[in-house]
A and B are shown apart, each in its own frame.
Chain A
Amino acid sequence: MTRLPLTGIAAFLIGLVAAHAIVLGALPEFIMSKARDRLAGSGLPVHHWQMSPLVTPQTQTIVRPSPDLAYAICLIDLSDGPVELRVPAWPEYGSLSIFDAGTDNVYAGSLDARLPGAPQHRRVRIARTGQSVEGAPGVEIVRVRKAEAVALIRRLAPSENHYDRAAALVQNSTCGPI
C-alpha cells in the first residue's frame, strides 16, 4: 500500500491559501498605485484638478469609463499635511468622490444643485489618521490611512457643450494643501 505524501499535501494547501490571500489583499493597492503612476506619467501633477478628455474609445485610459460624464481628477498626497477640496455645484447630476490608496470610496458628496440644501461649493478637508486638521463651517472632514488618495469629479455631460461648461468650472475648483 502506497503512503500518501501528507507533508507535501499539507504544504501545498498552506502555500495555496497563503499566496491566494496575500495576492488578493495586495491587488487593490497595486492597481491603484499603477493607475496613479499612469496618470502622473501622462503629465498630471499632484494637487491639481485636471479634466479628462471627453470619454471616447480612443481616449479611455481607465476601465469602464462612462461616456455620458465629464470627469476631473486630482492626485492627492497627504505626506506634508491635510488637503482641501473646493468644488462648485452643477445644474444636473454630479458628484465629488474620494478614493483611498486601497481603492475604497471613502467619500461621496453630491454636486447636484437641484437637490434640497445643496451647497454652491462643496468643501472637503482630507487628512491621514492622526493628522491634525481644523474644521470650519460648511467643511466636511475625511480621514484616510495612507498618504495617497485620488479625488474625482463626475458631471453629467451628454454633449460637447456640457463638457465645455464642466471644463470651465475646473478653474473655479481647488485641490491643495490647506
Chain B
Amino acid sequence: MRILSALAGLVLGGIFGLGTALAAAGIIGPGVLIGGSVQTGGWSSDWTIGSKAANPWTRARVARHGLFALTKEEAVYFSRKTDDDGRRLRETCTYEVSGGALPALWWSITLYDGTSFLPRNTDEALSFDLTDASAIGDPTAWAFTIAAAAQAEGGWVSSRAAGEFDLTLRLYKPSPELIANPEAVLDAPRIRMVTCRELP
C-alpha cells in the first residue's frame, strides 16, 4: 500500500512539476517573472537577460519569448502590457504613447501579439523608433498613436489583428548610468488610453 501511494505521489508530482515548469517558461501561458526584476514607470525588465547570471526561470522564459536576446551591456529590453491606468492593452482601444530622450545610442518600441510575434497585418506600421522620432520632430519630446486603423497625422503603430498585445522597448547601447540606476535615469514612455470601443 505504501509503495502504491509513493508511486502515485511521484507520478502526480512529476505531472505537476512538468506543468509548472512549462507555465513558468511561458510555453503554457505568459510565463512568470521570478527575481532580477527592474520596474520603472510601468515597464519591466530583467538585467540578467541573455547572461549566465539569469536564474533558470528567466533563462527558460527568455528562450521561449526572446531567443537571441543580448546582454545588458549591448541592449536592454523593457516590456509592458498595460496602460498608465493599469488596463490591459488591446486592439479595440487607441493609445497615445509619449516620451522624451532615452539614454541609449538607439531605441525602438515594437508591438507584439499574445504569442510574442508581430501582429499578422499588412499595415507596415510595426514599431516607432529614434529614427521616426527624429523625422517627425523632436527626439527629446515625441509621441505616436497605437490604433487598429491608420492615423491621418503623426506616428502610428498598428494594433490590427493583435488582440491583447504588449510593447517591447529596446535600448541599444544603453548608458552606464541607466544600467546602474534604471529607476532614476529612465524617463519611461507613458501610455494613455484615448478611446476604446466595445467588442461586437
Contacts and interface: CB of A to CB of B under 8 A. Distances in A.
A115 B73 CA distance: 15
For the complex of A and B, list the 9 residue pairs with the smallest distance between their C-beta atoms, beginning with the closest.
A15-B13, A19-B17, A11-B9, A23-B21, A105-B50, A12-B9, A8-B5, A8-B9, A16-B13
A97 B17 CA distance: 34
A45 B159 CA distance: 36
A10 B168 CA distance: 42
B2 interface: yes
Nearest to B129: A68
Tell which of B27, B65, B106, B132 has the most Cβ of chain A within 10 Å: B106
Contacts of A56: 118, 124, 126
Interface in A96-115: 97, 99, 102-105, 108, 110, 112
Interface stretch (B53-61, B81-89, B142-150, B187-195): B53-61
A75 to B, nearest CB: 13
A28 B63 contact: yes
Contacts of B25: 24, 27
B149 to A, nearest CB: 17
A66 B170 contact: yes
A63 B117 contact: yes
Interface residues of A, number: 53
A72 B59 CA distance: 23
B62 interface: yes
Interface in B48-76: 50-52, 56-57, 59-60, 62-71, 73-75
B21 A14 contact: no
Contacts of A99: 68
A27 B24 CA distance: 11
B122 A158 contact: no
Contacts of A62: 67-68
Interface in A61-95: 62-68, 92-93, 95
A27 to B, nearest CB: 4
A158 B13 contact: no
Given A19-B13, A105-B69, A112-B105, A5 B63 contact: no
Interface string A43-68: 00000000000011110101111111
A111 to B, nearest CB: 11
Q: Is the interface of A mostly helix, strand, loop or mixed?
A: mixed
Given A7-B9, A8-B8, A95-B70, 6 more contacts: A22-B17, A64-B65, A64-B116, A102-B59, A103-B63, A110-B74
B105 to A, nearest CB: 6
Nearest to B22: A23
Given A8-B6, A8-B8, A68-B129, A19 B70 contact: no
A10 B110 contact: no
Contacts of A57: 117-122, 126
Given A31-B67, A62-B67, A95 B59 contact: no
A156 interface: yes
B11 interface: yes
A11 B56 contact: no
A48 to B, nearest CB: 18
Nearest to B128: A68
B119 to A, nearest CB: 6
B7 to A, nearest CB: 7
B105 A15 contact: no
Contacts of A35: 67
A24 B56 contact: yes
A13 B15 CA distance: 11
